[in-house]
Amino acid sequence: MFNTFKKYTWFFKLRWKSYTFGVSALIICAILQVLNPKIIGTIIDHFIGGTLSWKILLFWASLILIFSLVMYALRYGWRMALFGNSTLIESILRNRLFSFFTRMDSEFFHKYRTGDLMAHATNDLSAIRFVAADGVLTLTDALSLGGITLFSMFFFIDWKLTLIAILPFPILIVVSTYLGKMIHARYRGALQAFSSMNDHVQESVTGMKVLKTFGEEKEDLSAFKKETQHVVDENQRVYKLKAALNPSIEIVMGLTYVIALLVGGSYVQSGRISIGDLVAFISYIGMMQWPLLAVGGLINTLERGSAAYDRVEDLLDYAPSIVEQKNPYRRALDGDISFDVQSFAYPDDTEPTLTNIDFHLEKGKMLGLVGRTGSGKSTIYKLLLRDYDQYEGKISYGGIDIKEYALESLKKGIAIVPQENFLFSTTIRENIRFGNPALSQKEVETYAKLANIHEDILEFPEGYDTEVGERGVSLSGGQKQRIAIARALAVEPECLILDDSLSAVDAQTEEAILSSLKQERMHKTTIISAHRISSIMHADEIIVIEKGSISERGTHQELIGEEGWYNDMYQKQQLEKKLDREGE
């Protein structure tokens, strides 16, 4: 149980001043609180002995009043100190998690689902926050109040009576240690169930349109009900143990009262202690009830916090497979690309996705990649962008292995317009200058014009200030693609990759974009993949990928002279075009 606090040592050290203040205030409060029964006992003894005067009564009564005022001030102080700290640890860890997310590779995001990651950043962190305030508070309070009460019983009343009365306490230690361990394990299960439910909410809300189109709401709802039931069940398992913990405290308390009354009563009769002492003793036992109950609550808070902390640590322990080498090249990419991969398999896959892919792309040239869907085009880009490292072979840029570059240099030098493009929930302007926020409106417009989207943007209600993404206007697929192209162009990359990025625009727009790209990027490298032959036919070299290997290569002229997939596709698309024209 106390191992939980070990995990927080770094934070206690960081905030040692406010913790020292908070804990001292708590302890002083406990001491003042314990003095009350002794005062009452003294007054009763004066009363029985007939020595109680107004003066004595007023003295003790005003002391009680002063104590409560001081306690008020101290309680205010420790609350501010402890709860202030707890929000701080939550925000520190949340920032740490967030910056960790930004450093993770594709494999990580493939492994962990969005809802799960969000649960880590919200639910788990609040459990952790609880330990930093409520945990520390309960522990200090329980220990100080319990300790001082025991001390008072021992020294102010009767040591023998105290020892006999607390005989049942060890039962509690055994029970709570045992239950605590089990509660920890079950809390982990409960947090996991919540994570998975959270993921379901996230996915269903994001995919609600698709869900509705397929009329799958009912099925999804019943699947969701199962998830929530699972969360309930897992929490029930925790509550069952928690429910068993508190009554055991009651039993121990009951036993203690019985012993105190029996033994204490006989002590009063034999004159060993006074009646006032016995009354004070009994109210001390009453005061022990809270610290003991607090142990139950403490176990709960600590085990929940500790399970959450473990989950967050497990996540933070994830070692990305993509790491920079020591003293990496921090220079801008320049020169030819040489790609030579004998074999690459996705993690957890046994069969390679790529085999013997090699090409040499001179600076300033354009490469076209075509092939059936699923043949491996996007995978080639992932390797070039160093999303994955574990391939056999070598990829170099300007003669230097891409693994030797600083990741930042690599990512700055190569811009990709991904197949599934994503725009942020902000204005069109901010989306376009995302990779280069210093751009002026005029420069933003230049790139928008290059991507053939400028005119469209002007027609939006607020032009470049129009919000897009989840909160903004709905853009057509082609508009999104072109904004994504403008965003990639805006970083003036040494190498531009268009991964099927023109699929949603018509042939005319495609032609316009391609010809302006050709002019603008005359001395820079471009790689395009597409299903439409017209997108890549002007490339300096075209490679056809089939099932992860190169099946054909050459220029457009060379390839249509061969009997192969390329020629077939070309003829088919020409025919379609012709039919379309005739149809019109």
Residues that bind ligand ATP (CB under 6 A): 110, 346, 349, 353, 371, 373-379, 419, 500
How far from 401 is each of 343, 397, 496, 497, CA to CA, in Å? Answer: 17, 6, 19, 19
* Cβ at position 332, least distance to ligand ATP in Å: 28
Q: Which is nearer to Mg ion, 86 or 353 (CB)?
A: 353
Q: Of 193 and 370, which has the nearer Cβ to Mg ion?
A: 370
Smallest separation, CB 421 to Mg ion (Å): 12
Q: Tokens representing 158?
A: 């009767």
Among the candidate windows 56-64, 226-234, 334-342, 412-420, which touches Mg ion by CB under 5 A?
Answer: 412-420
Which residue's beta carbon is nearest to the bound Mg ion?
378
Q: How far apart are CA 115 and CA 43, in angstroms?
A: 62
532 burial type by CB count under 10 A (0-12 exposed, 13-18 middle, 19+ buried): middle
CB-wise, 301 or 375, nearer to ligand ATP? 375
Q: Please identify, using beta-carbon distances, which residue of 43 and 341 lies nearer to Mg ion.
A: 341
- Compute and round to an integer the Cα radius of gyration of the chain: 36
Q: Which of Mg ion, ligand ATP, none is residue 376 near (CB under 5 to 8 Å by kind)?
A: ligand ATP
- Minimum distance, C-beta of residue 79 to ligand ATP, in the bound complex (Å): 50
What is the rounded CA–CA span in Å between residue 257 and residue 263?
Answer: 10
For 557, the enclosing helix (H) or strand (E) is helix 556-560
Rounded CA gap, 124 and 228, in Å?
A: 18
Give the shortest CB-562-to-ligand ATP separation in angstroms: 21
Closer residue to ligand ATP in complex, CB, 245/354 = 354
Tokens in use for 304? 């929940």
Q: Report the nearest approach of ligand ATP to the CB of residue 417 (Å).
A: 13
Of the pair 467, 500, the CB lying nearest ligand ATP is at 500
Tell me if residue 468 falls in helix, strand or coil.
coil
- Stretch of residues binding Mg ion (CB under 5 A), selected from 164-172, 194-202, 254-262, 377-385: 377-385
Residue 241 or 544: which CB sits closer to Mg ion?
544
- Closest distance of CB 545 from Mg ion, Å: 10
Are the C-beta atoms of 565 and 584 separated by less than 8 Å?
no
Scanning 121-129, 289-297, 343-351, 375-383 for contacts with Mg ion by CB under 5 A, the matching segment is 375-383
**What residues are paired with 405 via a beta bridge?**
329
In the complex, what is the shortest distance from the CB of residue 418 to Mg ion, in angstroms, rounded to a whole number?
Answer: 9
Min. distance of Cβ 458 from ligand ATP in angstroms? Answer: 32
Q: How far is the CB of 501 from Mg ion (least distance, A)?
A: 10
346 touches, from Mg ion, ligand ATP, none (C-beta below 5 to 8 Å by class): ligand ATP
Tokens of 582: 């005739």
What order of strands is seen across the sheet that includes strand 391-397?
A: 354-361, 337-344, 391-397, 400-401
Phi, then psi, of 366 in degrees rounded to 5: -120, 130
How many residues at the interface with Mg ion, by CB under 5 A? 3
User: How many CA atoms are closer than 13 Å to the CA of 155, on its beta-carbon side?
Assistant: 7
Judge whether 521 and 498 are in contact, CB under 8 Å. Answer: no
How far CA 405 is from CA of 399, 401, 500, in Å, comes to 11, 7, 27
Q: Is 378 a residue that touches Mg ion (CB under 5 A)?
A: yes
The kind and range of the H/E element at 492 are none
Q: CB under 5 A: which stretch of 45-53, 169-177, 387-395, 417-425 binds Mg ion?
A: 417-425
Give the residue with the Cβ less far from Mg ion, 79 or 372. 372
Task: Say whether residue 421 binds Mg ion (CB under 5 A).
Answer: no
Cα–Cα distance between 308 and 188 in angstroms, integer? 7
Evaluate whether 85 touches 19 at the Cβ level (below 8 Å): yes
Q: CA 303, CA 3: separation in Å to the nearest integer?
A: 10
Task: State how far the Cα of 396 lies from the Cα of 394, in Å rounded to an integer.
Answer: 6
Q: Which is nearer to Mg ion, 301 or 378 (CB)?
A: 378
Q: 493 to 552, contacts with Mg ion by CB under 5 A?
A: none
Give the Cβ contact number of residue 306 at 10 Å. 27
Q: Binds 90, which of Mg ion, ligand ATP, none (CB < 5 to 8 A, cut-off by type)?
A: none
**Taking the CB of residue 522, how many other CB atoms lie within 10 A of it?**
8
Burial class (CB in 10 A: 0-12, 13-18, 19+), 330: exposed
| In the complex, minimum distance from the CB of residue 548 to ligand ATP, in angstroms, rounded to a whole number | 7
User: In sequence order, what are the residues at sequence separation of 6 or more whose Cβ sits closer than 8 angstroms to the Cβ of residue 64?
Assistant: 36, 39
353 makes contact, choosing from Mg ion, ligand ATP, none, with CB < 5 to 8 Å by partner type, with: ligand ATP
Stretch that binds Mg ion, among 26-34, 416-424, 545-553, 566-574 (CB under 5 A): 416-424
φ and ψ of 329, to 5 deg: -65, 125
Is 176 an interacting residue with respect to Mg ion (CB under 5 A)? no
Instruction: Give which of ligand ATP, Mg ion, none residue 379 binds (C-beta under 5 to 8 Å, depending on kind).
Output: ligand ATP
- CB nearer to ligand ATP: give 303 or 499: 499
The distance of closest approach from Cβ of residue 235 to ligand ATP in the complex, given in angstroms and rounded to an integer, is 34
CB of 106 or CB of 446, closer to ligand ATP: 106
- Pick from 385, 367, 369: which is nearest to 377 by CA? 369
The Cα–Cα gap between 414 and 421 comes to 16
CB of 445 to ligand ATP, least distance (A): 31
Q: Is the dihedral of CA 508, 510, 513, 519 positive or negative?
A: negative
286 binds, among ligand ATP, Mg ion, none (CB under 5 to 8 A by kind): none
**Which CB sits closer to ligand ATP, 76 or 109?**
109
Contact positions vs Mg ion (CB under 5 A): 377-378, 419
